[in-house]
Structure 1
Amino acid sequence: MAEEFKGIVDRYGRPIAKAALKVEQAAPTGSGVRRHDALHPAAGLTPGRLAGILRASIDNDPESYLALAEDMEERDPHYAGVLGVRKRQVSGLEITVEAAGEDAASVEHADLVREVIERDGFEDELFDILDAVGKGFSCTEIIWDTSEGQWRPKRLAWRDPRWFVFDQVDGETPLLRDAGQNVPLNPYQWIYHSAKVKSGLPIRGGIARAVAWTFLFKSFTIKDWAIFCEAYGQPLRLGKYDAGASEKDKQILLDAVSNIGVDYAAIVPASMAVEFIKADISGSHGLYKERADWLDQQTSKVVLGQTGTTDAIAGGYAVGKTHDGVREDIEKADGRQIAATLNRDLTRPTVDLNFGPQKKYPRILIGRPEQVDIKSLVDNVTKLVPLGLKVGMSTMRDRIGLPDPAKGEELLVPPKGPAPTDPPDDNPPPPLKPGETEQTVHSTAGTGTRDAIERSTDAMLADWEPLVSPIVAGLDAEIAAASSVADVKALLSKRFAGLDAAALTELLARSAFAALLAGQVDDTL
C-alpha cells in the first residue's frame, strides 16, 4: 500500500496517499478519452437533436451536452458576454481569510492560506473554477509543490468537464473517465465545484441547459435574417438584351449581372443594358431583430438576473444604476458557494498536509466589504466614548477604511491654540440659598424675579436626587468596563429596573400641579 499521511482522511473517510498527490491524475493524453479534440454539436442543431443531447446527459452520457455548452459560448456573443461578466465579477470580489482563533497556531494556518490565494494567477484559476456556473460543475486538479518539504498548491489546473461523468447511483459524485472505466477522484487532489443555479443534479444545474433552447431559436432567427438581408438587402440588377441576342450573348449578360454583386465591375456589349432597381424593403423585416433582442434579454435574465446593464431599454441609465452587472443576490450566492468549495477542497487539504488535522480551520470569505455609514459610526463613538465605552483605535481605522500609520509618518493633530475661556464676570453670582443648586440658579440667570414654576423646579430637583442616586452610583465604572454598545444598553436597562417609579411619578404630578396653579394666578416673587 502506498505511504499515507498518518491520521489524515478526507471528508469521506478515505486515507491520503502521498505518492498519488505527487502525480497528475488527469493529465491530458494523446490518445484515449482525455484528448483536447473538438466536438461541435451546435452545427446543424435541431430541436430533436437538442432534446436528445439533453436526455443523454441525464443518462450518464454528458459529453455532447458539455461540448454544446462550450460551443454556445463561442457562437453566441451575447451569452459569452453575460456569462463572462458573471464569472469575472465573482472572481474579482475581495477575498479575505479569517483565522480559526487568536492563538499563534491559528494565525499561522491563516497566513498559509493567505499565501496560497495571493499567488499570481489565483484570480484566473478562480475564474476557471466558476466554469461550473455555465456547465453545472467544474473539476480543478491541485498540482502540489513539495520541493522544499512543504505542501503548496503550485497550480490549480482546469480540466475539461467532458472527461468526467457522475456516479450512476447518486448522480452527484464525479468520476474520472480513464481507459474505459470511471475512477474516483484522488482525495486532497481536486477542487470540485457544483454551482447551485437551480436545485437538482449537478449535470442539470448549469445555466447552459436553460439557455440551450434560446440559443437554438436565436440561431434560426439569425440564419433567416441573414438570408433575408442577402436576398433583399441589395438592389435588383436587371440585364436587358435585344430580341436577336444569341444564347452566348445572354450568358455573357447573365455572368456580368451576377459578377456586379461580387466584383462591382463587368463589361457587356453596347447592345445590352444593366438596370439597378432600388431595394425598397417592405413588410415585417424588423421582426428578426426584435426576436433576437427578446431572446438575448431572456438570456440576460437567466445569467445576470436582470437586463438593465446589457440591453438597450427605456430608462436604461436609471435602471442600470440599480444593477452592478450581476444582481446583488446572485453575486452573494456565487461568492458564498465558491468560498465554501475552497474551504472544503483547498483550505483544509493545505492545512492538513502541512500541520496535520485540526479541530477548526481558517475560513476563506469572498464578497464585497460591508458598507459602513462612517458619519453615524463616528457620531456614535464620539458620544459613547465619554460615557466609558472602550473602542480600539485600530478597529476604528479598519471600520472607516484608514490604514495604521507607518512608523515615523507625519500625523494629523488637532490645531494648537489656547483653550477657550469665558470672559470675566463683573457681577459674580450671589451665594447659593438653602435648597438651591448651581443648575437651578443657572436656569434663572438673567431674570429679575423667580415665579412659582421656578421655585417648584428648585424643589423638584432637590427631591429627585435621593431617588436617582442609587441608579447612577458607580455607573461610570460599569460603563467603562463594558465591551460593546449592547452591553451598555443592557446595563442601563438593569439599572432603571430598580428605579422607584411610583415616587418619581408622584413628584412629577405634584410639580405639575404647582406649576399649573402658578400659571393661573401669575405668582411671582
Structure 2
Amino acid sequence: MSTYQLVDPHGRPVSSPSLLKEEAAPTLTGVRALWSDPVASGLTPGKLARMLRNAVEGDPADYLALAEEMEERDLHYASVLGTRKRAVLAIEPAVNPPDGGATDDKILDAVRELVEAPEFEAMQIDVLDALGKGFSVVEILWEYGAQWRPREYAWRDPRHFQFDRKTGRELRLREDGSIEGRALSRYSFIRHVPKLKSGQPIRGGLARLNAWAFLLKSYTLKDWAAFLEVFGMPLRVGRYGRGATPDEKRVLLRAVRDLASDAAAIIPSGMEIEFIEAKGGSGNAVFGAMADYLDAQISKGVLGQTMTTDDGSSLAQAQVHENVRYDILRADARQCAATINRDLVQPFIAFNFGPQERYPTVDLPVAEAEDIKTLSDALTKLVPLGLKVSMAEVREKIGLSEPEEDADVLTPAAKPKADPQDKPEADEPEDEDADDPATARACPSCGEIHATARSGEEPDELDDLLEGALDEWGADLAPVMDQLQAEFAAASSYEDLQARLERMAGTLDVGPLARRIADLALIAHGLGDAG
C-alpha cells in the first residue's frame, strides 16, 4: 500500500481505502436489485406518458428499463443506435501533450499504456450507453501495484442512479430508505452525460425521443400480424343440412377449425366445407408504409438523416447526409473524450505523478474523408505558382504520418544516365549542364528541368558578333521607323491608319536591316567553318 498522501488533480487529499472500495455493486433486493419485471409488454399511451413524467419528476427507473428493452425489441432502433455508438468506437484514441507546456515522457507513456489496455474499449462501449438513456455510469475499480491503475471498469445499471431533486443535474446513487440517494465518491466513477439537447439531462436521451415511435410501431406490427392471420388464409364456411343434429354440427365446426392448423379433416356425408378467398390484401401496403415511416423518423432522430440507412435518391444527396453524420460523430467523440479526460486520465496522472499544471489529453480525432485526387491536382497546379503549403498539413489530410529518420521513403524516379560511349545526334547537341544543379531550374510551365544561361564563362566570337550587332540596331531600323511615323502622322482615323499600313506592306525600306543580318549570318558561317 502507498505510504504517501494521495492527492487529486487539484492537490486535495484522497482517501486510499475509499478508492479500493466497490460501492455501487447491485444487491439481491431493494432499489439496486439487478432483476426487474419488463415494462414494454402491454405498453399503452397512458402508461408511456406516466413513465416519461415520472422520469422528469425524479423516478426514472421504469423509463430506463423501457430504454433498455427498446434496444432489444426494435431491430431498426437497435441498428441505428448501434451504428452511432460503433462510429465512435472505430476512432483510434490519440494521446496528446498539453498545449503550451512540456510534459514528462513517462506520463505520456503511462497514459498510452492506459488507453491501449483491452478493457479501455469495453469501457468506451459502456460510456456510450448514455446516448440512448441520457447518462451512463461506469465504476472504476482501482488497484495499487507499481502504479495506481484500474483493474476493471464495471458498468452500472442506470436504474440504480437518480438525479437530485433540486437541480436535476447531479447524479446520485439510489439507496433504500433515502429519497435523495447518496452522493457518488469522487474519482471512483466515470459519469457521462452527453449534451444532446438543452434542458434536464434525463430528457436528453435518444430513447425518450424515440419512445412514441416505438409505441406506434408496436401497435402497427400487432395490427399487421392480426391482418395477416385473417387475410392470409381463405375463410372456411361449413354447410350442414336442415336435419343436422347438435353433435353433427359440433363435428363440422371442429373440422372447419382443424383445417386452419392441420389442413386435414373429416366430415359426415351430406355436409360440405366452402373456401372463400379473402379480399383486401392491399392492407399490407398500409401497415408496411406506416412501419417504414416510423423507421425513417427513428433514423432521423438517431443519425440525423436517412440516406445511409434507407434508400437514397442520389449519390449527391447521400454525400450531404453523410456529412451530417460526420457532424454528429465529431460531437459525440469530443464529449466522450472530455468525460474520459476528466474522470479517468487526470485522476490517473495525479495519483501516480502528482498534480500537473497542464494535463495530457486523450482525444478521439475524426478525420473527414478527403478527395485525394482533387487535392493532388490542386497542389500540382498551385505549388509551382508559388503557393506555400505545410507538408504536415498535407500528410494529415491524406492520412500519412511523418517518416522516421531511418525509414525507407519513396522518392522520384531517377533519370537514366547516358552511356558515355553514346554520341548525341547531329540535330540534338549535348547539353552538359542540363542536369547541373547549379545551372538547372524547374520550368514553371511544364515542370521539366532545362539548362539556364551559364555564367562565369569567357565570351567567344559569336558573343562579340551579337554584341556588335545590337549596338547598331537603331541605325538599321531608322528607315523603317521613319516611314511608319510618317503614316501615323498622316492618318485621320484608326481605319485610315489600317488602310495605309496595308498599302505600304512590301514597300518598307528594310535594306539596311537585311544587309546587317546577311553580313552577320555570313560571318557566323565562316566562324563555324573555321572551327
TM-score normalised to structure 1 length: 0.74
Q: Over residues 121-159 of structure 1, what are the superposed CA-to-partner deviations in whole Å (9 max), with x where a residue is unaligned?
A: 43332122111111111111112232x231222322211
Alignment of structure 1 residues 177-256 onto 2, 5 Å: 177-181=174-178, 182-256=181-255
Aligned position for 2:148:
151
Alignment of structure 1 residues 28-107 onto 2, 5 Å: 28-100=26-98, 105-107=103-105
Contact 1:176–1:185 at 8 Å: present in 2 too? yes
CA distance in 1: counterparts of 2:254 and 2:509, whole angstroms: 120
1:295 CA displacement: 1.5
CA distance in 1: counterparts of 2:298 and 2:215, whole angstroms: 12
1:333 CA displacement: 0.9
1:335 CA displacement: 1.0
Aligned residue type for 2:269 = A
Contact 2:80–2:299 at 8 Å: present in 1 too? yes
CA distance in 1: counterparts of 2:86 and 2:152, whole angstroms: 19
CA distance in 1: counterparts of 2:362 and 2:280, whole angstroms: 59
Aligned residue type for 1:93 = I
1:407 CA displacement: 5.3
Aligned position for 2:14:
16
1:286 CA displacement: 2.6
Aligned position for 2:129:
131
Aligned position for 1:375:
376
Contact 1:238–1:274 at 8 Å: present in 2 too? yes
1:106 CA displacement: 3.7
1:305 CA displacement: 0.3
Distance 1:291 1:401, change over 3 A: closer
Work out which of the residue numbers 173, 178, 202 in structure 2 matches 1:176: 173
For the residue of structure 1 that corresponds to 2:118, the secondary structure is: coil
For the residue of structure 2 that corresponds to 1:269, the secondary structure is: coil
Aligned position for 1:457:
none
Q: Over residues 418-462 of structure 1, what are the superposed CA-to-partner deviations in whole Å (9 max), with x where a residue is unaligned?
A: 38998259995446749x99xxxxxx9xxx989999xxxxxxxxx
1:7 CA displacement: 7.0
CA distance in 2: counterparts of 1:371 and 1:450, whole angstroms: 67
1:5 CA displacement: 6.9
Work out which of the residue numbers 334, 337, 346 in structure 2 matches 1:336: 334
Distance 1:413 1:311, change over 3 A: closer
Distance 1:452 1:302, change over 3 A: farther
Contact 2:255–2:266 at 8 Å: present in 1 too? yes
The count of residues paired between Structure 1 and Structure 2 equals: 444
Contact 1:339–1:365 at 8 Å: present in 2 too? yes
Aligned position for 2:494:
none
CA distance in 1: counterparts of 2:122 and 2:76, whole angstroms: 21
Distance 1:340 1:451, change over 3 A: farther
Contact 1:5–1:18 at 8 Å: present in 2 too? no
Q: Over residues 338-392 of structure 1, what are the superposed CA-to-partner deviations in whole Å (9 max), with x where a residue is unaligned?
A: 111111111101111111110111112213225565526864896599x9x8977
CA distance in 2: counterparts of 1:252 and 1:183, whole angstroms: 68
Contact 2:137–2:190 at 8 Å: present in 1 too? yes
Q: Over residues 263-310 of structure 1, what are the superposed CA-to-partner deviations in whole Å (9 max), with x where a residue is unaligned?
A: 222222233222211222256553222222111111111101001122
1:178 CA displacement: 2.9
For the residue of structure 2 that corresponds to 1:191, the secondary structure is: strand
Largest Rg, 1 or 2:
2
Contact 1:60–1:166 at 8 Å: present in 2 too? yes
Aligned position for 1:110:
108
Aligned position for 1:480:
none
Work out which of the residue numbers 429, 433, 439 in structure 2 matches 1:423: 429
CA distance in 2: counterparts of 1:449 and 1:276, whole angstroms: 114
Work out which of the residue numbers 156, 161, 164 in structure 2 matches 1:164: 161
Aligned position for 1:264:
263
Distance 1:377 1:187, change over 3 A: farther
Aligned position for 2:294:
295
Deviates more, 1:220-229 or 1:423-432: 423-432
Aligned position for 2:310:
311
For the residue of structure 2 that corresponds to 1:8, the secondary structure is: coil
CA distance in 1: counterparts of 2:101 and 2:352, whole angstroms: 17
Aligned position for 1:275:
274
Contact 1:85–1:326 at 8 Å: present in 2 too? no
Q: Over residues 217-257 of structure 1, what are the superposed CA-to-partner deviations in whole Å (9 max), with x where a residue is unaligned?
A: 22222222222222222111111222222211111111111
Distance 1:318 1:376, change over 3 A: closer
Alignment of structure 1 residues 453-472 onto 2, 5 Å: none
Q: Over residues 176-230 of structure 1, what are the superposed CA-to-partner deviations in whole Å (9 max), with x where a residue is unaligned?
A: 1134331111111111111111111111111111111111222222222222222
For the residue of structure 1 that corresponds to 2:7, the secondary structure is: strand
For the residue of structure 1 that corresponds to 2:356, the secondary structure is: coil
Aligned residue type for 1:255 = R
CA distance in 1: counterparts of 2:156 and 2:415, whole angstroms: 65
Contact 1:177–1:183 at 8 Å: present in 2 too? yes
Contact 1:5–1:15 at 8 Å: present in 2 too? no
Aligned residue type for 2:240 = Y
CA distance in 1: counterparts of 2:480 and 2:158, whole angstroms: 90
CA distance in 2: counterparts of 1:297 and 1:399, whole angstroms: 33
CA distance in 1: counterparts of 2:292 and 2:341, whole angstroms: 40
Aligned residue type for 1:239 = G
Contact 1:142–1:156 at 8 Å: present in 2 too? yes
CA distance in 1: counterparts of 2:15 and 2:509, whole angstroms: 97
Distance 1:4 1:202, change over 3 A: farther
Contact 2:234–2:276 at 8 Å: present in 1 too? yes
Aligned residue type for 1:154 = R
For the residue of structure 2 that corresponds to 1:143, the secondary structure is: strand
For the residue of structure 2 that corresponds to 1:197, the secondary structure is: coil
The alignment status of 1:363 with 2:361, answered yes or no, reads yes
Contact 2:30–2:176 at 8 Å: present in 1 too? yes
